[in-house]
Amino acid sequence: MEHVQTAMARLTELARSGPVAKLATAFAEAGAQLALVGGPVRDAFLGRPVHDLDFATDARPDRILEIVKPIAQAHWDIGRDFGTIGARIDGEQVEITTYRSDEYDGQSRKPVVAFGDSIEGDLHRRDFTVNALALALPQLELVDPTGGFQDLVDGVLRTPIEPEISFGDDPLRMLRGIRFSSQLGFQLDYAAFEATREMAPRIKDISAERVRDEFIKLMSTDSPRAGIELLVETGLADLVLPELPALQLERDSAHQHKDVYEHSIQVLENAIALEKEAAAKRAAVDAEGAAAEGSLAAESEVKPEADVVLRIAALLHDIGKPRTREFGPNGQVTFHGHDWVGAKMTKKRLSALRFDNDSVKAIARLVELHMRMYNYGSAGWTDSAVRRFARDAGERLDQLLILIRADITTRNRRKSERLQFGINDLENRLAALREQEELDAMRPDLDGDQIMRILDLKPGREVGEARKFLLDLRLDEGALGEEEATKRLLAWWASRSESRP
C-alpha cells in the first residue's frame, strides 16, 4: 500500500485543485460540512487512480442545490429522494449526498432512506470499512471511525458494524464484498463470509437490475476468479447464476472428464489475457499511425474498457454440459449439443438478470458458435465454409476467435499445438478473404431494390428468399458482379416458377 504521507499528499493536491477546492470553499462559506468519501480516499491510499468524486455533507438536498448551482456548469437531482445531488464542475462529474442511513423494511426491494447527523454516523452505515474513510474539507483531516485504514493495510474486507445488520440493511452488500475481493485483491473476513453464506437467500430482496450491475462490475475486474469462487462458495451463485455451480460435475474413477467449472474459469482468464493482448496491439497500431501523422494522441494512458460480452461468454460457454452429459464405453464422457443447449440457457439466464437484448443475443451467439472450429481439420475448410463461418459470427468474429483460442486448456501439447495451428490458419484465411472480398461488409451482389425491379416484385417474403439465394451464391463462389448475378437470379426465379403446380 502507498505510504501514508504520499497518500495524504495526493489527497491534499486533489483537495486544492479543480472541483474539490471549489466545493470545499462553497460549502464552508455556506456554513455546511463537506467531506470527500469512500472510493477516492481508499484509492489514494492504495496508489490507484482516483475516479468518481463522491462527497458527503450535513446539508439537505435542497440546500445542496443552492450551494452547488452558482459553481456548476450543470446539475441534476435524479437521486434527490436518496439525498444525492449530481453536478458537473470544471468538467468533472461529482455527487454530493446528505449524511444518511439506508435500511430495508423487509417488504420493499429498495432501501428506505433516513438522513443522518454526522460524518461518523454516515461512515458506520457504509458497506465495508475500507470504503468508510473520509477526508474532511477544507481542513484536510482524515476521518476513520471504523478502522478502515488498518484494514487497507491488512487487505481485509470487513463491515463497519455486525455483518448481519449491514447485509440486512442492504443485501446487495454481499455481492459488493465479492466484487471487491476481485477488484481490490482483498480477503473477505470470516464474519462477513459466514454472514453471506447464512443470509444468501436475502439476495432475492434485491432487484435483478442491481444484481446484474454488480455481476458486470465483477466481470470487468482484471482478475475476477476470486469473486467468482466466492460467489459459488457462499451459495449466492445458486440464487443468481445457478448454472455456474452446476458446472461442478461429479467425478468418479469410472468416468474421467475435466472439471468443467475449473475449466470455465481458466477459459475466462485466458480470454482476458488475449483480450488485453489484442487491445495492446490495437493501441500500438493507433499510436504508430498517430505518430506518423504528428498527432499528440500518439501515446494514450486511457485504459480500454473490459470486453464484458466476451468475458461472460467465456465463463458460460460450457453451461450446456451438465444437461447433455452422457457416459459411453471405457469411461468416455460426451456432451453432444452442449453448444446450442448452452446458448438457450444463456439467453434464459441473462434475460432473467435483465441484460439488454443486444448483449443477450451477442453472448448467446458466442456460446452457440464456440465449437464450430473443432471440425476444422488438417485440410482446413473450403473458401465457402470460411465465408459462412465469418457470416455466422458477424460483428462478433474477433471475439469468437479469442473465445475459441481461450478454450484450449488441454495439457496435451500435441493437441494444443494442432488446435492453435488450425486457428492461426483460419485467421490467416479470414484476413486474406477479408482483404480480397471485403468480408466484413459481405452482401449479395444485388440489393433489395434491384431484386424487386428485376423480378417485378413488391416487398415481401419472395424478395427475402431471392436475397438469401444471392447471398448463398456470394458465400459459395465469391463476388459475381451485377450482370452475372442478374442472370443467375433470373434462372433461379424461372426454375421456381416451373416447379410450381
> Taking 80 as the threshold, does the pLDDT of residue 501 lie above it?
no
Q: Which three cell numbers stand for residue 211?
A: 444484481
82-86, 214-218, 228-232, 438-442: the lowest-pLDDT one: 438-442
- Write down the pLDDT at residue 255: 39
State in words which class domain 155-240 has.
mainly alpha
- Write down the pLDDT at residue 439: 58
How confident is residue 189, by pLDDT bands cut at 50, 70 and 90?
A: very high
- Write down the pLDDT at residue 250: 54
Q: Which three cell numbers stand for residue 470?
A: 444471392
Q: Is 310 within 8 Å of 327 (Cβ atoms)?
A: no
Mean confidence (pLDDT) of the chain: 87
Mean pLDDT score, 267-291:
83
Paired with 334 in beta bridges are 326
pLDDT tens for 92-144 read: 999 999 998 655 555 554 556 688 889 999 999 899 999 999 999 999 999 99
User: What percent of the chain has a predicted confidence (pLDDT) above 70?
Assistant: 88
Mean pLDDT score, 439-462:
83
Q: What is the DSSP string of 268-325?
A: HHHHHHHHHHHHHHHHHHHHHHHHHTT-GGGS--PPPPP-HHHHHHHHHTTTTHHHH-
User: Which amino acid is residue 227, in one-letter code?
Assistant: G
- Write down the pLDDT at residue 292: 59
pLDDT tens for 302-337 read: 567 899 999 999 999 999 999 988 888 877 888 889
Q: How far is CA 498 from CA 199, 492, 494, 501, in A?
A: 70, 10, 6, 8
Short-list 376, 378, 384, CA closest to 400: 376
**Residue keyed to cell 432501501:** 111
CA atoms within a 13 Å half-sphere pointing along the CA-CB vector of 417: 3
Torsion of CA 266, 271, 273, 276, to 10 degrees: -160
Provide the 8-state DSSP code for 99.
S
- Write down the pLDDT at residue 377: 63
Q: What is the phi/psi pair of residue 103, to 5°?
A: -135, 150
Under CATH, which architecture does the 1-153 domain have?
Answer: 2-Layer Sandwich (3.30)
| pLDDT, greater one: 496 or 178 | 178
Q: Return the number of other C-beta atoms located less than 10 Å from residue 244's C-beta.
A: 20
Residue 471 CA to residue 488 CA, distance in Å, equals 12
Where in the chain are the domains? 1-153, 155-240, 256-441, 448-499
- Write down the pLDDT at residue 500: 56
How confident is residue 499, by pLDDT bands cut at 50, 70 and 90?
A: low
Chain centroid, CA 365 distance in Å: 16
- Write down the pLDDT at residue 378: 60
The structure's pTM equals 0.82
Short-list 210, 404, 244, CA closest to 316: 244
pLDDT tens for 51-102 read: 789 999 999 999 999 999 999 999 998 788 888 999 999 989 999 999 986 5
- Write down the pLDDT at residue 256: 47
Q: What is the DSSP string of 170-184?
A: -THHHHHHHHHHHHT
> Taking 80 as the threshold, does the pLDDT of residue 35 lie above it?
yes
Mean pLDDT score, 152-166:
95
Q: Are strands 92-98 and 100-103 parallel, antiparallel or unpaired?
A: unpaired
CATH topology of domain 256-441: Hypothetical protein af1432 (1.10.3210)
> Taking 90 as the threshold, does the pLDDT of residue 31 lie above it?
yes
Residue 237 CA to residue 171 CA, distance in Å, equals 14
